[in-house]
Amino acid sequence: MKQTSVTDARFSWPVAFTLAILIAAAVVVLAFLRLESWPARTMTQGTADLERLGKDLRSAFIDIVHLQPRITINNRTFAEQTTPTSELVILTHHAKVKREFVHTWAGSSKRIKLVGMFTAKAGFDLRQDVAVDVRLDEIVVRLPHAEVLGVEQTHVDVLAFENGLWNRISGSDLQNELAALPQLAHQQAAESDLPMEAEQELQRQLSKRIHARQPLRLVFTNPKSIEQSSVDEKK
């Protein structure tokens, strides 16, 4: 009985040593395979995160801008642009404009003086291309510059309506002066900071709505209007 126990002990050490070597080799192989597949797994996880971000961006634009922009993720198209509306109004501004017309003929003068109240709308023309490029380091939104989309007249006051003795105010005189008021209101709004404020407000709304690690950058793809450019040059 004693001889048998010694023999078993002699054979157990080589077996244990062999098992230890096999286990160590298996651990090394497993670690190697994990390290080898790490870049692919990291890329897959990164792409999945970007795709989730792309869905959030699409939802945010539908909620805020009322359109689905063209979204690309790592130069791959994720969603095409759909435009249910042609314009996006971001800000409104109340404008007051004055217009005076004086005409003298043969010593007789006629005079019209008007004051008009308007609501100017600033925002974006969505008929142009709006695209979102999602990258690992940043999110780039390309869209046209904000502009004055229109003005709506609220009311007009007639401050002066004076006829001359033989130089009378005609219907066309009054129509011309009334038609000039919206043009003045539009020009006044375009020359103000209203379009720039609309761009800043859109940036604020998107940044508040989109929760991402990457910074959000707006890139405007069309030149500013002549009126806005002249104001910037004066500054």
Q: For the chain, give every domain's residue range.
A: 57-234
3-state secondary structure of 83: coil
Q: Classify the phi-psi angles of 175: left when phi > 0, otherwise alpha if psi is within -120 to 50, otherwise beta.
A: alpha
**Is 214 a residue whose pLDDT tops 50?**
yes
Say if pTM beats, i.e. exceeds, 0.95.
no
- What pLDDT, on a 0 to 100 scale, did the predictor assign at position 27? 59
More confident residue, 53 or 34: 53
- What pLDDT, on a 0 to 100 scale, did the predictor assign at position 183? 93
Query: Residue 60 has which token pair?
Result: 């945010």
3-state secondary structure of 163: coil
Mean pLDDT of the residues in the chain: 78
Q: For residue 53, what are the contacts with CB-CB under 8 A and spacing of at least 6? A: 134, 139, 212, 214
Give residue-wise pLDDT tens across range 35-55.
454 444 333 435 677 777 777
Exposed/middle/buried for residue 51 (C-beta within 10 Å: 0-12, 13-18, 19+): middle
